[in-house]
Amino acid sequence: MPEHRFTSRARRALMFARREAASEGREQINAEHILLGLSQVGEGTGYTLLQRCGATTEALRRRLPHLDAAPSITSGAEGFTGDARRVLESAHREGRMEGCQFIGSEHLLLGIIDGRTTRAARLLADLGLDLMRYRQYLDDARQDAHATSAPGWAQATGGASPLGQERETLADAAAVLPEAPPAAPRPEPAAASPGDVLEEILAHNEQFVAQHPEVPPASHLPTRRLAILTCMDCRLTDFWEQALGLHRGEAVVVRSAGGGFADNDSPLRSLAVAVYALDVDTIIVMGHTGCGMSQISVGEIVGKMSDRGVSRDRIPSSDARAWLGAFTDVADHVLDTVDAIRDSGLFPDDVAIHPLLIDSDTGRLSVPTR
């Protein structure tokens, strides 16, 4: 079987497929497992197409045992049955025809449909998803994605960036997060002490480890060769990764107050490590709407530091604003930070450095310009 390169969503679909096979006590993944896996990815084109024709995981599980069709062929290689191998080969062919470097979830879905006589293909045909409908759905999905993609992204990345193929993913991400709830208003201060928080985290972790015995291993080298410098704002946590379509193992992340850096500040050092030790070739500086660093009172912070016993000579009172990294306009700040990284002299010209803004409430991305 040729070497296949998968997008992160396709990899997740295959990871779920492996679980499906394991749950049946099988060592090899068949086409039905891949279909069930695709139905669990939760985002992306292949998943969306399945949802549109009612092929939810539950619906598939209900229908599969009752299908009058050829059972999966059990001979195969490398953990895949013969029919699953044909799904991958067909997906690979389709991806190549589209000029894609990676097999995406939509290519896997096409590979299943293309199987025709397999139970998985028969099931999709019963649900109305044949090759013709697939092409039509795919065109619609791509037009939707194109219509909602961030304006200026292609220009900003020169169209040929390593992220070029991910433009659709960025648009997809905005499409699957249309109604992200605004971050909750600040809660009343809890009576818990910092020690209680640690105990809660440790208790949660016991559960997490018990529930996830098979976390797939990941390399410390980011597979997308990408570093993101962004703000430490808590509203971005568990949110921005989904909005950008990034998963474990794909990018390194540097976070700081405001997503920038001041003199001798460590984000610049971290970015240098990312480029020279972790093989990163693209840096994205991502600001966010409503950033607290555009609203803080420098005088108040310096006053509090002093009140709580920080020695005056530790606080650079002459330029506390620059030391804290406060700014007025987040778009300008992002563009200034991109310039400052470039002007630092630490990075060669072949490292791409892009500005980006994320809406803290909706996750929608835009590319700031001067």
Q: Please identify, among the stretches 104-112, 141-149, 190-198, 287-295, the one whose residues bind Zn ion according to the rule CB under 5 A.
A: 287-295
Size of the site for Zn ion (CB under 5 A): 3
- Smallest distance, Å, CB 335 to Zn ion? 16
Task: Report the phi/psi class of residue 217: left, alpha or beta, with left for phi > 0 and alpha for psi in -120 to 50.
Answer: beta
Q: Please identify, among the stretches 172-180, 199-207, 275-283, 286-294, the one whose residues bind Zn ion according to the rule CB under 5 A.
A: 286-294
Q: Report the residue number, 228 or 231, with the smaller CB distance to Zn ion.
A: 231
Q: Select from 34, 173, 227, 291 the one that contacts Zn ion (CB under 5 A).
A: 291
Q: Report the residue number, 95 or 260, with the smaller CB distance to Zn ion.
A: 260
Task: Give, as ranges, the residues between 25 and 84 that touch Zn ion (CB under 5 A).
Answer: none
Q: Report the residue number, 112 or 231, with the smaller CB distance to Zn ion.
A: 231
Task: Give, as ranges, the residues between 222 and 241 that touch Zn ion (CB under 5 A).
Answer: 231, 233
The closest alpha carbon to 121, from 34, 59, 47, belongs to 34
Judged by CB under 5 A, does residue 106 bind Zn ion?
A: no
- Smallest distance, Å, CB 293 to Zn ion? 5
Task: Report the phi/psi class of residue 315: left, alpha or beta, with left for phi > 0 and alpha for psi in -120 to 50.
Answer: beta
Judged by CB under 5 A, does residue 356 bind Zn ion?
A: no
Q: Is residue 289 within 8 Å of 357, Cβ to Cβ?
A: yes
The CA–CA distances, whole Å, from 204 to 193, 209, 236, 238, 366 equal 17, 9, 21, 16, 36
Q: Report the residue number, 119 or 333, with the smaller CB distance to Zn ion.
A: 333
Q: Report the residue number, 60 or 286, with the smaller CB distance to Zn ion.
A: 286
- Smallest distance, Å, CB 291 to Zn ion? 3
Q: Report the residue number, 35 or 291, with the smaller CB distance to Zn ion.
A: 291
- Smallest distance, Å, CB 258 to Zn ion? 5
Distance CA 45, CA 176 (A): 10
The closest alpha carbon to 355, from 151, 156, 174, 149, belongs to 156
The closest alpha carbon to 241, from 257, 233, 232, 253, belongs to 253
Provide the 8-state DSSP code for 360: T
Burial status of residue 327 (CB atoms within 10 A of its CB: 0-12, 13-18, 19 or more): buried
The CA–CA distances, whole Å, from 125 to 41, 84, 237, 290 equal 21, 17, 40, 48
Q: Please identify, among the stretches 47-55, 156-164, 284-292, 338-346, the one whose residues bind Zn ion according to the rule CB under 5 A.
A: 284-292
- Smallest distance, Å, CB 305 to Zn ion? 20
Give the binding site for Zn ion (CB under 5 A).
Answer: 231, 233, 291
